[in-house]
Amino acid sequence: LKMAEITSSIATAEASNDNEAPVANISLQNIIDGTNERSIPKTKFIDDIDMFSGSFDPPASPELLIGAYSDLHSKFKQIEQQLTEKKAHREKSIPEIEKSIKLVRHLMQKKEEGDSAITRYNLADIVYAKAEVDCSQGIVNLWLGADVMLEYTYEEALELLTAKESKAKQDLEDVTEDLSFTRNQIITCEVNISRVYNWDVRRKRASAAGSN
């Protein structure tokens, strides 16, 4: 979920009939303060709740403000889950790519030495067989995903794997940064909800004391 996927009518309330008082309309743009580089919204911190509530026409009620930030909080929790899964996938894939790069370089070395490579391959869960790999032709097959395997020269394979490694590491760096950013936005939402709730309690107490 990114900016374009979060509805702009995140907390819209309207009067159901002409006899009800009009209710403020809070959109996504009212409760965020821009986005990060990858379009994840930045939660707007409510510094002055009275001023923020009064910026709407009519003034936004505590219930509406809490509802808006609660909805945004739920969206951020979804983003957090997606980023956590993406980070775990990248952390798993990078060692596999590095292992493949190491293997291709080993085969290239054997080719330069005019030697073959001795290895063991898996026949079943606990059954392995010994094999001798002819490195003289300089050909290797790589899995590309979706049951697709293509043939590459050692040089082509090394170039492809190195590019994939670089992209995976950059993706991991980006997703780690986004995950930290998203968690900060969740905290800001929670702080805003708590502050609005306490502000409402103080108002009700002051109103009750004034009436007495």
What interhelical angle do 62-112 and 154-211 show, nearest 10?
170
Global pTM value:
0.82
Q: Which helix (H) or strand (E) holds 105?
A: helix 62-112
Nearest Cα neighbor of 41 from 195, 196, 171, 178 is 178
Mean pLDDT of 84-112: 95
Residue 8 has pLDDT above 50, yes or no: no
Question: Using one digit for the tens of pLDDT, what is the confidence trace for 158-201?
Answer: 999 999 999 999 999 999 999 999 999 999 999 999 999 999 99
Whole-angstrom distance, CA of residue 15 vs CA of residue 11:
14
Nearest Cα neighbor of 31 from 190, 189, 205, 206 is 189
Q: What is the pLDDT of residue 210?
A: 75
204 phi and psi angles, rounded to 5 deg: -65, -40
